[in-house]
Structure 1
Amino acid sequence: MNNTIFHHKQTAHCESGVISNLLGHHGLKISEPMAFGIGAGLFFAHLPFIKVNGVPGTTYRIWPGAISQRVCKRLGVKMEAAKFSTPAKGMAALDDVIEAGIPVGLLSSVYYLPYFPASYRFHFNAHNLVVYGKKEGQYLVSDPVMDTVTEIDPDSLVQARFAKGFPAPKGKMYYPVHVPANASFRQPIKEGIQQTCHYMLKVPLPMFGVSGIRFLANRVKSYPEKVGDRKATLYLGNVIRMQEEIGTGGAGFRFLYAAFLQEAAEMLQKDELGKLAGELTKTGDLWRNFAFAAGRVCKSRAADTVSYKDLSEMLLQCAASEDAFFRKLAQVKW
């Protein structure tokens, strides 16, 4: 395997960033937006029956792990992955692999990563990072959302890898064992786009895709009456946080997916994809406007001008824009 120096590259999102950095280390150059798009990372779901820290779950991306799995399958990469029953087994396995000079992707909880500022440390158990070595008892970390490499002590790393809660990371680690020297991106791009369109337009349940955005819009409108002002603020705040903090890159990954379409347009010389990238950027602006207005409502700065009904209307506008966009994207001729 490749024992060259690991080059850290900051990215917008952890999972697509880690897969981009790991594959790049082994000679397969793939940008983060391209990994996100081939992995069909863009999604939407609002799941009021699944509570995360007592708040209904909202996600703007596909479930954790899916992006990496799809990228590897579509590009012919073989990834070794394992979970562990005890921290001792998990740390011993990690040490064995990094001693062989192989960078390792890890699943972790943000809460136990001491290099994050306190305000960013909360119980989110699906954060991906790379450990690429060990020095004087400290693990060398390339966390793609950080601007530079860092270190972590063994105790904190154990806590992060074996955090309790949902989903429990169980010490998951993964690393490439076969990376093709050359890979064609055309078919993987096509498959990634078609899968994203399917999930956004055709899942026959109201909580998912474009229908899910409308579903959330209808619930937001009645938050104050249904759950009271305090919970309404908490629920709304989580929708924004998942969009602008967990959905790093902005607007719930819409800007990141637009960057993928722009890169795909240039790589495949399909101007149509470039035009659609511009349309999705405008949709991203609608999401940003929603987040700004909702944030002011949460801080009670716009109680007299912006209502929950207004926010609901903004979400419906996002849904209409995404509906039109994905229908056009689904009709691209290959």
Structure 2
Amino acid sequence: MNNHQFRHRQTAHCESGVISNLLGHYGLQISEPMAFGIGAGLFFGHLPFVKVNGVPGTTYRIWPGAIFQRVCKRLGVKMELAKFSTPEKGMAALDKVIDTGTPVGLLSSVYYLPYFPPSYRFHFNAHNLVVYGKREGQYLVSDPVMDTVTEIDPVSLAQARFAKGFPAPKGKMYYPVHVPDKASFEKPIKEGIEQTCHYMLKIPFPMFGVKGIRFLAKRVKDYPEKAGERKAGLYLGNVIRMQEEIGTGGAGFRFVYAAFLQEAATLLNKQELSLLAGELTKVGDLWRNFAFSAGRVCKSRSADNVSYRELSEMLLQCAAAEETFFRKLAQVRF
């Protein structure tokens, strides 16, 4: 493994950003959108029975860790992965690996990262970052969502790695032990696209994919009646928060995937992927408009049934646009 200086690049989303930065360190150049696409990161799920801080959960991307596993598998990268029972063991293991000059990916809670502004520090336990060395007792951090490298003290890092709550990171760390010099992206792109289309169109449960967006639309319409005014605002607020703040959010993930299709179009010389990238950007705009209108409803403080009905209509529009898009994408022949 080479020990040249770790190169930090800011990215839109932590998991695909860490993949891009870590593999790039070993000479396998992969952009963040390409990692997101090959890892089939685009997804939708609304889980009323999975409460996050008492509020139903909504996700616009695949579950944490999945992008990483898929990219490694599809590109032939081998990762060493470890979790720990105590912070002492976890920190000792980290020190041992970075002493060899190997950058290490870590799972952490945003809440305990002091370099984040206070308004961004909330209990989100699936944030990925890279520690690539140590200087004067401080750990050197490449956090892909920050514009420059930064530092963190051992106490805060241990707290972030061993935060309580769901999902508990348990000090999870990972680093490459084998990275191929060259990798063909053709088959991985095709597999990533097929998997994304399957998840968005074919999961039989109503909470996932395009069906999941319609499922949420129906529930949003009934929020004022079924949940009451205060809870309706909370529930809606969380839908937007998951969309706009966690990672890059729902609309943002659509834009990242569009960038992946654009890159894939050039790599595979497939013009239709480029046209589909343009369509998906328009879908991303629909999500942005929804978030903007939902934000206004949340702030207006009145559980106005009319506006919740309108938001429900906007979600149905997003669902229709995504269904059309994914049906076209599923028909692209490679």
Q: TM-score, normalised by structure 1?
A: 0.98
Identity of aligned residues (%): 85
Q: Distance in 1 between matches of 2:98 and 2:298?
A: 45
Cα displacement string for residues 267-292 of structure 1 (whole angstroms, at most 9, x for unaligned residues): 11100100000000000010000000
Q: Using the TM superposition, give the Cα deviation of residue 11 of structure 1 relative to its aligned residue in structure 2, in angstroms.
A: 0.2
Paired letter, 1:147 = D
Q: Structure 1 residues 7 and 249 mapped into 2: Cα distance closer, same or farther (>3 Å)?
A: farther
Q: Using the TM superposition, give the Cα deviation of residue 306 of structure 1 relative to its aligned residue in structure 2, in angstroms.
A: 6.2
Which residue of the partner structure matches residue 68 of structure 2?
Answer: 68
Is residue 84 from structure 1 mapped to residue 84 from structure 2 by the alignment? yes
Which residue of the partner structure matches residue 238 of structure 2?
Answer: 238
TM alignment of 1:117-266, pairs within 5 A: 117-248=117-248, 251-266=251-266
Cα displacement string for residues 271-322 of structure 1 (whole angstroms, at most 9, x for unaligned residues): 0100000000000010000000000111118977960000000000000000
Q: Using the TM superposition, give the Cα deviation of residue 73 of structure 1 relative to its aligned residue in structure 2, in angstroms.
A: 0.2
Q: Structure 1 residues 136 and 109 mapped into 2: Cα distance closer, same or farther (>3 Å)?
A: same
Q: Is the 8 A contact 2:106 2:173 kept in 1?
A: yes
Q: Distance in 2 between matches of 1:147 and 1:97?
A: 25
Is residue 325 from structure 1 mapped to residue 286 from structure 2 by the alignment? no
Which residue of the partner structure matches residue 48 of structure 1?
Answer: 48
Q: Distance in 2 between matches of 1:76 and 1:105?
A: 18
Paired letter, 1:127 = H
1:59 partner SS: strand
Q: Using the TM superposition, give the Cα deviation of residue 188 of structure 1 relative to its aligned residue in structure 2, in angstroms.
A: 0.2
Q: Is the 8 A contact 1:23 1:30 kept in 2?
A: yes
Q: Distance in 1 between matches of 2:119 and 2:173?
A: 26
Q: TM-score, normalised by structure 2?
A: 0.98
Q: Is the 8 A contact 2:197 2:329 kept in 1?
A: yes
Q: Is the 8 A contact 1:60 1:243 kept in 2?
A: yes
Paired letter, 2:121 = R
Which residue of the partner structure matches residue 5 of structure 2?
Answer: 5
Cα displacement string for residues 102-153 of structure 1 (whole angstroms, at most 9, x for unaligned residues): 0000000000001001110000000000000000000000000000010000
Which residue of the partner structure matches residue 115 of structure 1?
Answer: 115
TM alignment of 1:298-317, pairs within 5 A: 298-300=298-300, 307-317=307-317
Q: Distance in 1 between matches of 2:269 and 2:139?
A: 43
Q: Distance in 1 between matches of 2:301 and 2:262?
A: 37
Q: Distance in 1 between matches of 2:69 and 2:15?
A: 11
Is residue 93 from structure 1 mapped to residue 93 from structure 2 by the alignment? yes
- How many residues end up aligned between the 2 structures? 334
Q: Using the TM superposition, give the Cα deviation of residue 245 of structure 1 relative to its aligned residue in structure 2, in angstroms.
A: 1.1
Q: Distance in 1 between matches of 2:79 and 2:173?
A: 10
1:264 partner SS: helix
2:48 partner SS: strand
Q: Is the 8 A contact 2:46 2:215 kept in 1?
A: yes
Q: Distance in 2 between matches of 1:20 and 1:187?
A: 18
Cα displacement string for residues 230-283 of structure 1 (whole angstroms, at most 9, x for unaligned residues): 111111111111111114166150000000000000111100100000000000
Gaps of 5+ in 1: none
Misfit runs of 4+, over 4 Å = 301-306
Paired letter, 2:327 = R
Q: Is the 8 A contact 2:233 2:303 kept in 1?
A: no
Which residue of the partner structure matches residue 280 of structure 1?
Answer: 280
Q: Using the TM superposition, give the Cα deviation of residue 174 of structure 1 relative to its aligned residue in structure 2, in angstroms.
A: 0.2
Q: Distance in 2 between matches of 1:26 and 1:139?
A: 21
1:320 partner SS: helix
Paired letter, 2:184 = S
